[in-house]
Each structure stands twice: as C-alpha cells, then as structure tokens.
Structure 1
Amino acid sequence: MIWLSILAMAAVVFASRYLFLEPQIPLRLGKTALRFLSYSAPAVLTAIFAPIVFVRDEQLSLGLDNPYLIAAALACGLAIFTRNALLTTLLSMAVFFIIH
C-alpha cells in the first residue's frame, strides 16, 4: 500500500510538471493564474521556516536567546544589503553555528 501511494504521488507530480513543460502540448496559463502562482514559492517557504524560526518548545520565542531568530534576522539583513545569496547563506549559517 505504501509503494502504491508513493507511485501514485510520483505520477501526479510527473503529470503536473509534464503538462506545463512539454512544448507540444498547447496548454498555456492566463495572466491571472501566472500571477497567483508567483505567490506560491514565498508562501511555501514561509510555511516551512516560520515554525522553525519563531517556535521553540511549542511556544512563541521572540527573545535574543533564540539562535534561529538571530540567524534569520541576520540573513534578512544580509540579503537586503549584499544581494548575494552565497554570502548571505554562509555568513548566517556561520553565525548560527557559533551561537548555537
């Protein structure tokens, strides 16, 4: 049953990607759909990182004793000022490992 579920999910993901990437299929999205899809990546990333950064021991943690919050704030600042993804990632990870 688990293998069937895995194969079914793989088929759904492959089909959804194939429909939009195959140039022979005349399927095009409208401007409204493309605009809505442009919000999906930030929404998914926010849903992933928000509980990691802001929640510790099942409670909201906004203090300076939260290394995840400090590293995330540093990463945001570095991303705004340097506009360099590699530098931002390396420096914020280094700060996180030092304080954690």
Structure 2
Amino acid sequence: MIWLTILAMTLLVFSSRYLFLEPKLPLRLNAQAQKLLSYSSPAVLTAIWAPIVFLPKGELALSWHNPYLVAALVAVLLAWKLKNVLLTAVISMSIFFLLSAF
C-alpha cells in the first residue's frame, strides 16, 4: 500500500509539472493566471517557516532568547545585503546552531 501511494504521488507530481514545462504541448496560461501563480511559492514558504520561527514550542516566542527568530532576522538582513543564497544560508545556520547550543 505504501509503494502504491508513493507511485501515485510520483505520477501526480510529474504529470502536473510536465503539463506546464513541456514546450510542445499547446497548454498556455494567460497573464493573469501566471501572475496569480507567482504568489504561490512565497505563500507556501511562509506557511512553512512562520510557525517554526514564531511558535517554536507551540506558543508565541517573540524574544531575543528565541534562536529561530534571531537566525531568521539575520538571514533576512544577510539576504538583503549580500544577495548570495549559499552564504546567507551558511551564516544564518551557523548563528542558529551557536545560539541553540548556548
């Protein structure tokens, strides 16, 4: 049953990506649909990181003792200044590990 579920999800994900990425298929989205879909990635990413950063133990933690919040703020500032994804990830993860270790 697990393998059937994995294969079904693989087929679903592949087919949904293939329809939009294959240039030979006559499927095209209009400008309004493309603009609407451009908001989906930031929305999904925000839904993933916001509870981790602001609710690390199931309750709101808006203090400097929250390593998730401090590392997230550092990551935002580094991404804005450096515009380098790898360097931002490495530095902010290092800061997070240092803060959570002490």
Q: Give the TM-score taking structure 2 as reference length.
A: 0.90
Match of 1:73 in 2: 73
Aligned AA for 1:74? V
1:1-100 equivalence runs, <5 A: 1-100=1-100
The question of whether the paired residues in 1 share the 8 Å contact of 2:68 and 2:96 is answered with yes
Work out the CA distance in 2 between the residues paired with 1:57 and 1:19. 40
**What SS class does the counterpart of residue 99 from structure 1 fall into?**
helix
Q: Which runs of 5+ in 1 are unaligned?
A: none
Say what the alpha-carbon RMSD is for the aligned residues. Answer: 1.1
Work out the CA distance in 2 between the residues paired with 1:98 and 1:55. 20
Work out the CA distance in 2 between the residues paired with 1:83 and 1:48. 22
Calculate percent identity across the aligned residue pairs: 58
Work out the CA distance in 2 between the residues paired with 1:84 and 1:7. 36
The question of whether the paired residues in 1 share the 8 Å contact of 2:56 and 2:68 is answered with no
Q: Which runs of 5+ in 2 are unaligned?
A: none
Instruction: Please give the per-residue CA displacement for 1:23-58, whole angstroms capped at 9, x wherever unaligned.
Output: 221100110110011011111111111111111321
Number of aligned positions between the proteins: 100
Work out the CA distance in 2 between the residues paired with 1:47 and 1:54. 11
Q: Give the TM-score taking structure 1 as reference length.
A: 0.92
Aligned AA for 1:50? A
Runs of 4+ displaced beyond 3 Å: none
Work out the CA distance in 1 between the residues paired with 2:14 and 2:90. 33
Aligned AA for 2:72? A
